[in-house]
Amino acid sequence: EADIYQTPRYLVIGTGKKITLECSQTMGHDKMYWYQQDPGMELHLIHYSYGVNSTEKGDLSSESTVSRIRTEHFPLTLESARPSHTSQYLCASSESAGDQFFGPGTRLTVL
């Protein structure tokens, strides 16, 4: 079944820890995105990729990094988590650009 998965769904972690948020899609889409969204607030694009070995920073400055070694996988890593990183992180993929399929999100809390 075509879908996009994010793990973990919820994560509570202490300051200074390294974390990786996983995102996988089974649709074979070349384009993948990471957004950050605080409750009731706008979506902010933090990273995107148009294919394997291609990654770009988005509009919102982020201390995270991403990699795209396989088409279906687009993990996001925070080397040292801080309370300011507390937010919801949404992964999306698309074949064209407008019809983005979003994952369920990872709600991150950094204590």
Partner 1 sequence: QKEVEQDPGPLSVPEGAIVSLNCTYSNSAFQYFMWYRQYSRKGPELLMYTYSSGNKEDGRFTAQVDKSSKYISLFIRDSQPSDSATYLCATIKTSYDKVIFGPGTSLSVIP
Chain positions contacting partner 1, by CB under 8 A = 40-43, 45, 48, 50, 58-59, 88, 90, 92, 96-105, 107
Q: Of 83, 47, 80, 41, which is closest to residue 62 (Cα–Cα)?
A: 47
Q: Of 106, 111, 77, which is closest to residue 7 (Cα–Cα)?
A: 106
Nearer to partner 1, 14 or 59 (CB): 59
Q: Map residue 85 onto helix, strand or coil.
A: helix
Q: Map residue 56 onto helix, strand or coil.
A: strand
Least Cβ distance, residue 109 to partner 1 (angstroms): 14
Least Cβ distance, residue 67 to partner 1 (angstroms): 19
Nearer to partner 1, 86 or 101 (CB): 101
Least Cβ distance, residue 75 to partner 1 (angstroms): 17
Query: For residue 98, what are the CA distances in angstroms to 33, 83, 93?
Result: 12, 32, 10
Least Cβ distance, residue 79 to partner 1 (angstroms): 25
Nearer to partner 1, 6 or 64 (CB): 6
Tokens found for residue 74:
């687009």
Nearer to partner 1, 43 or 52 (CB): 43
